[in-house]
Structure 1
Amino acid sequence: MTATYDIPEVLDRREGPYGEVVLRRHGELLQIIANGCFLMDTSDGRSERLLVDAALDALGPREAPNVLIGGLGVGFSLARAAADPRWGAITVVEREPAIIGWHLNGPLAALSARAVADPRTEIVETDLIEYVRETSATYDALCLDIDNGPDWTVTEGNDGLYSATGLTSCARVLKPGGVLVVWSAQPSPDFEETLRNAGFQRVRTEEIPVARGVPDVVHIAVRPG
């Protein structure tokens, strides 16, 4: 008997400002592919939810803290933030118009419609690196889920976000005592050192075990008060 396997179904394919972006359905999963490289899917979401939870925990008691989420992705982090009434304003920066569209009126709306409609939510279509360098807004927490993390970036230019210069921009948009949380597909002791050298304090890493391979992690750091 010959085994059969689900063949991914392409739901949408677009040429965006940074190359090709594809939304696929593979069985029950939705997948985002950028320039032929798998970025994320709807299979789990534990690490993306931890990204938001760890920021709130590290902040401690604070009245309606506002959060900037870098990267909309499949919407796990946004949905987690919107489900928690303790957050104040929730700003999401996403540079791919296709991804925003899939959440507003496409297949990903099944995951994020309630969060997108939340009056606290604002989605900004721009590049996060430019945003943290130029905005006059400040935030209690900055949650980054851009590319695959500091040690393996798919999109050219994203590695600059994890450099000393990029982290200086991140610190600039954080209020005193604000928290930076960074998602990564693998642990990175070198990035922990870069965070410390950039002036962040209370640097630590939380791991999320996976079935096979290295764990996903979130790196947590605090801007001095």
Structure 2
Amino acid sequence: MLPWIELDRATIPGDGDELRLKQRGQEFSIMLGSNELMNSRLSGSEEALATLAHERIAGGKNLSMLIGGLGMGFTLRAALAVLPGDARVTVAELVPAVVDWARGPMAELHKGTLDDPRVDIHVGDVGALIRSKKAAYDAILLDVDNGPDGLTRPSNDSLYSHTGLRAAQAALRAGGVLSVWSSAPDSAFTRRLREVGFAADEVNVRANGKRGGARHMIWMATKR
């Protein structure tokens, strides 16, 4: 079996922990310590994050979508595949090196999506961007941690708190949807979504889509 090769390391701003980009043949992995945040062989649930959200907002004009976390670009690719030509997609990525990796060693995975005219790349904290907006988005998609807690960086906890969820609600247009990816269920998070006024559904998806794989969770929370 081919060995893993470490291609690069990147410090997470404001945190000090490091992301590591690794490659084995055509396979890529992004690691945080001993935790694998994402792997290029597993994309089904990240793609579902976009397609499920689009199903809730389809038919609107000049749709605006915010994706929190660029990662390996699976969610962005899936969103662009279903969104119309007049849509706008903002991708907020905290770690500048992740954008560099998308244009460099992982360019084949991203397939030019960063250069799509519908796409804007915002290098910075998605939480701060959300808090700065009012009724700006039809959909907000969050895949910045392995679930609704600050695994990647502790300050991300605020995204999933009552205060953070109210900020997301304010940033959404009427009928907009907050879509959150997780590697596992979290009943407390479902309660918080409903407590702030979202109509929240839990959707089980497979890591590799129709080909199976581990079970992941996506919350679909609609602004009433």
TM-score under structure 1 normalisation?
A: 0.89
Which 4+ stretches in 1 moved above 6 angstroms? Answer: none
1:114 aligned onto 2:87: no
Q: Which structure would you say has the larger Rg?
A: 1
Q: Counterpart of 1:140?
A: 138
Q: Counterpart of 2:39?
A: 41
Counterpart mapping for 1:143-182 below 5 A: 143-151=141-149, 153-182=151-180
Cα distance, 1:144 vs structure 2: 0.7
Which residue identity is paired with 1:217?
M
Q: Counterpart of 1:208?
A: 205
Cα distance, 1:85 vs structure 2: 4.0
Higher RCO (CA < 8 A, seq sep 6+): 2
SS at match of 2:82: coil
Q: Counterpart of 2:68?
A: 70
Structure 2 residue runs of 5 or longer lacking an equivalent are: none
Structure 1 residue runs of 5 or longer lacking an equivalent are: none
1:36–1:169 Cα change, 3 Å: same
Deviations 1:84-106 (Å, cap 9, x if unpaired)?
242600100000011011112x1
1:15–1:188 Cα change, 3 Å: closer
1:128–1:82 Cα change, 3 Å: same
Counterpart mapping for 1:95-106 below 5 A: 95-104=94-103, 106=104
Q: Counterpart of 1:82?
A: 80
Q: Counterpart of 1:186?
A: 184
Contact 1:142–1:181 under 8 Å retained in 2:
yes
User: Number of paired residues?
Assistant: 217
SS at match of 1:54: helix
SS at match of 2:168: helix
1:10 aligned onto 2:6: yes
Deviations 1:84-143 (Å, cap 9, x if unpaired)?
242600100000011011112x11211214211110000100111111112357100111
Deviations 1:174-223 (Å, cap 9, x if unpaired)?
0011011100001122211110001102x11111235665x111100101
Which residue identity is paired with 1:47?
S
Q: Percent identity?
A: 35
Cα distance in 2 between the residues matched to 1:137 and 1:221? 15
Task: State the Cα RMSD in Å.
Answer: 1.9
1:31–1:118 Cα change, 3 Å: same
Contact 1:79–1:111 under 8 Å retained in 2:
no
Moved more, 54-63 or 114-123: 54-63
TM-score under structure 2 normalisation?
A: 0.89
